[in-house]
Amino acid sequence: MVNIETTLQIDSFPLEYDPVRYPFWGVNSAVSGVGVNVSLALHSLGNEAHFCTLLGTDFYGEMAHDWIQRQGISTEFFIRRLPQTAQSVIIYDKTGKRQIHVDLKNIQEQRFPAELFEVALERSDAAVLCNINFNRHLLPLARQKGIPVCTDVHTLSDPEDEYNRDFMAAADVLFLSDEKLWTSPEAAARELMDRYGNRLIVIGQGERGAFLLEQKRKPIQLPAIKTRPVVSTIGAGDALFSAFINFYLDGFPAIEALRRAMVFASWKIGTAGAAQGFLNAYELEKLYSQMEPSVT
């Protein structure tokens, strides 16, 4: 997905009512969305991302198309046919806590053209299909061609969640957050793997680190990594997910891929926007070499 993201910095939550506020340099707008965040992160690490998305025919759609193209990402698989481009407003405080308001317009009623997706799939090592309705019907196409499916369902409170079930069942690599889990991360990961047969599952835990469960391997809890002060945690999960995919597909063991991904995500949240703050491969390895990751 692509959306136009407006971020607003506040002092703290809850936000007290004032008829007018003047947060100088505290309001910013940018092109963002999970599709943008993942594609840009993968691109910054040296991958060629065949970005498939739907945009509006409005001014914001044109702006997003041109901006993404200027970042060096191909727009060959962009379809501009929506009446309006999705938008989001993100409120965040000085500790990095955030509240996200997303207006998807009518994007959930759309379908990305399967024939165009198959062209992109022929050029790809993996299909990164996150939980948006317009690509739900593409999941079996990737599976039929033997292409690994990677997905992030973000928050999950029910292992049989009706909306996310198709994505979880298709995923070789499954990511999610611990924010709304119905049980402990380890118990949740085991239950999901037993139910859907995923190759591996990563549960992001924010300041508590990340949990990794891989088939036929011991579960691993990694503590959080701090590389610089947090500005906003928006986009942290997308950064973690993207960097992990990068290294895992390059042949790194899952634990090494996750360690590097945690450094990548930690650095990214030192910026306010979800599509900002991505290290390139050289910068990440240099920073990673200075860290002392540990495992429990």
Q: Go through the domains of the chain in sequence order and give each one's CATH number.
A: 3-289 (3.40.1190.20)
Selection from 199, 178, 200 nearest residue 188 by Cα: 178
Give the model's pLDDT for residue 272: 80
Structural contact between residues 284 and 257, judged by C-beta atoms closer than 8 angstroms = no
List the end-to-end C-alpha distance of the chain, in Å, as a whole number.
Answer: 35
Full-model pTM: 0.92
Length of the chain: 296
Q: Is the dihedral of CA 136, 197, 266, 23 positive or negative?
A: positive
Chunked mean pLDDT (size 10), the chain, 296 residues: 94 94 94 95 96 97 97 96 96 86 96 97 96 97 97 97 98 97 98 98 96 97 94 89 97 97 95 86 94 56
Give the model's pLDDT for residue 215: 97
For helices 34-44 and 59-70, the axis angle rounded to 10 degrees is 10
Give the model's pLDDT for residue 94: 83
Give the model's pLDDT for residue 296: 44
Give the model's pLDDT for residue 17: 94
Structural contact between residues 274 and 32, judged by C-beta atoms closer than 8 angstroms = yes
Give the model's pLDDT for residue 159: 97
